[in-house]
Amino acid sequence: MTTLVRPALSLIVLMTLITGAVYPLVVTGVAQVAFPEQANGSLLRDDSGQVRGSRLLAQPFSGAGWFQPRPSAADYATVSSGASNLAPSNPALAKRVGEQAQALYVPAQGPVPLALLTTSGSGLDPHLPPAAVAYQLARVAAARQLPLPALQALVEQSTLHPLVGPPVVNILALNAALDQLAPASK
Amino acid sequence: MHSYDYALLLAFFALVLLPAPWLGRFYYKVMEGQRTWLSPLLGPVERGCYRLAGVDPATEQSWKTYALALLAFNLAGFGLLFAVLLLQGHLPLNPQHLPGQEWSLAFNTAVSFMTNTNWQSYSGEASLSYLSQMLGLTVQNFVSAATGLAVLVALCRGIARRSASTLGNFWVDMTRATLYGLLPLCLLLALLLVWQGVPQTFTDYVHALTLQGADQVIPLGPAASQIAIKQLGTNGGGFFGVNSAHPFENPSAWSNLFEVASIILIPVALVFTFGHYVKDLRQSRAIIACMLALFVIGGATALWSEYQPNPTLNSPLVEQTAPLEGKESRFGTTASVLWSVTTTAASNGSVNNMHDSLNPLSGMVALVNMMVGEVIFGGVGAGLYGMLLNVLIAVFLAGLMIGRTPEYLGKKLQAREVQLLVATLLVMPVGVLVLGALATSLPGPAAAVSNPGPHGFSQLLYAYTSASANNGSAFAGLGANTTFHNLMIGLGMLIGRFGYILPVLALAGSLALKKSAPVGQNSFPTHGPLFVTLLLVTILLIGGLTFLPALALGPVAEYLSLGL
């Protein structure tokens, strides 16, 4: 048995040093030099240097003058993130979606896009499909007293078109740009 | 489906299939100690490891010594991880001052990562220190995958060698698999992921003032390095609680493509490694064809199912499109389904959408992928040794049909081999049906379900299937962090891991001893379409006969009740 104990113990220690210490440290070193912005959480700062969030994490918005992100089952908690885990057959899902649809429905614009009625997997989805942004355009334009074409242009600028995924708009970036264009009344 | 959906599917298959022949040959050369372009860099490290551990790389082991070495190494790894998790409150690199895990949770977590399952009854950002994630979990992510690869090459040698009493050296195989097989690819993937937005830092969590003036804590950490190995090593344990649905873990459509392709990159390549061992790449192509057929059948079913709108949401106020509950906007339906199918076909278990909220038949495809024993590409090493067991069973059945002693690649299958094969057939039924029935029939454990009706049963069925198949994904609404489930799911993971590894090594030892009969005209060819079909039917029949009643009570009943 002693012929097994020494290799077992020394190899677990050696592997711990190589894969648990050297490897993450090398990745950190290279990442901090090559991609410091992303490696530190894609932080969004204002002019005074104050951190206002991360471009990758959704924030809650209340008020007609802001674009609303996907609903969050964990109320946009970051520690810890969470999902509803509601089954399609769970009556609680139909009830919640129905209530949310009542609140958001604009007869002139047709049925409410599903992205605005369903919670995301992470509860922190920073994006919306363009159609779900378009559904909110008239409301935001009216609240900010902005001409609709100006707002449409802003949304189009913020739309990403990856080749291997659906087009999306980053809602936090859009709201930050919106606040530069026409600050919300405090 | 839009053009970007087809582009994603095309890119995915290209990324996993095109490098496979080259990568498979690379793994063969590495595991046989031949020189590769990485040798000048990693050779000194490898030799240093052997010197410090007192290992002579030229000494070979019998199957029993090989198995004992594997068990000793896994036990040492379990002990170290269990201690780190219990004691993390007293250890450094813990900027959030998180306390140690409760003992049954620490047991569950340590077993989970040692067995390459990565079932998680905790949420990483809220309960694990940077030290636990790095020195504890990342290490087991590497060495559990390396253990799987070692068992696979031992079986390959058992089939390829003639009248041999040894299978190789576990210490050498594990070290080579980690250093050459996993580390270089992980470095590459980790940096690709940071480029796309995955954090990699040791600083504290950041406090932000949101645009509307509220306080927000931004969790950070050395995430990219761990996510790379959790994908490439078919581990699947997320750095953050919601796994690859988290925008920090999987920030864009591109990071999603890299991560989902990484799940089966190595398992596909290893099928070619097997072909090099037995010096017959036609065998590899036949096995790949069978795996691809099962993958495409499951994938197409799940895609069709997941594009159906949920009938319970039917209302003039609600847009009637493919369900989005539990899915991220940047992935949409196709990328979510592709991930779900891939992660359950391989024993990865990471998720980019919440499987609990999948339509019933898409959830059932995920279940079936695991129930057939994680052989559709499967885990690193584990997938192919599982598939080779099915190949031997199919050969045995063919032998019964034509009335000859069954043989595979010149090796006769006799009573001992068939007994060992049957032992492995019992693993999934015991883990899923016996433990699952216990969890379902006891009132305390059964109360962990969070959805009413048949789906509640599916949640428990999924948990015990995922554990026994060493997958690790979940119908995550299940409140599994109880002493009962932590211990029983832990037991399921141990049965699912070692219930295969030990018979496979015994089988390898037994096959290695045999002489090789010349493959004559009367041998049943194991590379043509006829054999691929027989293999496919064997896999589906064994899985189907065992699990059909359970599936009928869960996802099928939910599907019928929804009237989809």
Nearest CA-CA partner of B76 in B125, B139, B7: B139
Of A8, A39, A115, the CB nearest to B201: A39
CB distance B199–A39 less than 8 Å? yes
Alpha helices in B63-127 (DSSP H): 63-87, 103-114, 124-127
- Residue closest to B361 by CA, chosen among B562, B542, B538: B562
CA B523 to chain centre: 34
> Angle at the Cα of A21 (from B352 to B472), degrees rounded to 5?
30
Q: Locate the domains of chain A by residue range.
A: 2-37, 41-181
pLDDT tens digits, B332-385: 999 999 999 999 999 999 999 999 999 999 999 999 999 999 999 999 999 999
Encode pLDDT of A72-126 as tens digits.
999 999 988 889 999 999 999 999 999 999 999 999 999 999 999 999 999 999 9
In chain A, how many H helices and how many E strands? 7, 5
Candidates A167, A94, A164, A95; CA nearest to B309 is A94
ipTM: 0.96
pLDDT of A167 strictly over 60: yes
pLDDT by residue for chain B (564 residues), tens only, comes to: 899 999 999 999 999 999 999 999 999 999 999 999 999 999 999 999 999 999 999 999 999 999 999 999 999 999 999 999 999 999 998 888 999 999 999 999 999 999 999 999 888 888 899 999 999 999 999 999 999 999 999 999 999 999 999 999 999 999 999 999 999 999 999 999 999 999 999 999 999 999 999 999 999 999 999 999 999 999 999 999 999 999 999 999 999 999 999 999 999 999 999 999 999 999 999 999 999 999 999 999 999 999 999 999 999 999 999 999 999 999 999 999 999 999 999 999 999 999 999 999 999 999 999 999 999 999 999 999 999 999 999 999 999 988 888 999 999 999 999 999 999 999 999 999 999 999 999 988 999 999 999 999 999 999 999 999 999 999 999 999 999 999 999 999 999 999 999 999 999 999 999 998 877 666 788 999 999 999 999 999 988 889 999 999 999 999 999 987
- B95 CA to chain A: closest CA distance, Å? 14
The rounded distance, in Å, linking the Cα atoms of A96 and B312 is 12
- CA atoms of B107 and B105, how far apart (whole Å): 5
Radius of gyration of chain A, Cα coordinates, nearest whole angstrom: 23
The closest of B226, B177, B223, B227 to B201, measured between CA atoms, is: B223
Of A10, A39, A53, the CB nearest to B200: A39
Nearest CA-CA distance, residue A55 and chain B, Å: 9
- Dist. CA B469–CA B463, nearest whole Å: 10
DSSP state of B180: I
Burial of B126 (0-12, 13-18, 19+ CB in 10 A): middle
CB atoms within 10 A of CB B307: 16
Burial bucket for residue A41 (CB in 10 Å: 0-12, 13-18, 19+): buried
Q: Which residues contact B370 (CB under 8 A, 6 or more apart)?
A: B344, B347, B465, B466, B469, B471
pLDDT of residue B517: 80
Give the whole-angstrom CA distance, residue B112 versus residue B90.
23
Please tell me the distance from the alpha carbon of residue B149 to that of residue B270, in angstroms, as a whole number.
9
Q: With an 8 Å Cβ cutoff, are B354 and A83 in contact?
A: yes
The predicted model gives A147-161 an average pLDDT of 95
Comparing CA positions, the residue from B474, B377, B374, B484 lying closest to residue B438 is B484
A34/B191 CB distance under 8 A: yes
Angle of CA points B372, B377, B379, to nearest 5°:
85
Judged by CB atoms closer than 8 Å, whether chains meet at B123 and A81 is answered as: yes
Torsion sign over Cα B314, B319, B325, B331: positive
Alpha-carbon gap, residue B87 to B91, rounded angstroms: 7
Asked if residue A186 has pLDDT above 60, the reply is no
A161 exposed, middle or buried (CB, 10 Å; 0-12, 13-18, 19+)? exposed
Percent of chain B with pLDDT over 90: 92
Cα R_g (chain B), whole angstroms: 23
Which pair of structure tokens corresponds to residue B433?
């049906």
Beta-carbon separation of A43 and B208 below 8 A: yes
What tens digit of pLDDT does each residue of A111-143 get?
Answer: 999 999 999 999 999 999 999 999 999 999 999
Please indicate whether, in this complex, the C-beta atoms of A26 and B187 are within 8 angstroms of each other: yes
Residues 111 to 150 of A: which have CB under 8 A from any B CB? 111-115, 117-129, 132
Residue of B138, B146, B153 whose CA lies nearest to B31: B153
- Answer whether B321's CB lies under 8 Å from B520's CB: no
CB contact under 8 A, B199 and A127: no
At B327, which amino acid appears? Answer: K
User: Is some CB atom of chain B closer than 8 A to the CB atom of A170?
Assistant: no
Nearest C-alpha neighbor of B464 from the set B495, B431, B513: B431
pLDDT value for B544: 81
The residue with tokens 């204002």 is A46
Strand (E) or helix (H) holding B140 = helix B139-160
Given a contact cutoff of 8 angstroms between Cβ atoms, the answer to whether B242 and A72 are in contact is: no
- At residue B543, the pLDDT reads 83
* Mutation site, A3, A5, A6, A12, interface B, largest B CB count within 10 A: A12
SS3 B562: helix
HEC sequence for B466-535: HHHCCCCCCCCCCCCCCHHHHHHHHHHHHHHHHHHHHHHHHHHHHHHHCCCCCCCCCCCCCCCHHHHHHH
Q: Enumerate the β-bridge partners of residue B411.
A: B408
B209 sits in which H/E element: strand B206-209
Determine the pLDDT at residue B199: 97
Task: Express each pLDDT in B141-179 by its tens digit.
Answer: 999 999 999 999 999 999 999 999 999 999 999 999 999
B476 close to B349: Cβ distance less than 8 angstroms:
no
Q: Are B216 and A56 in contact (CB under 8 A)?
A: no
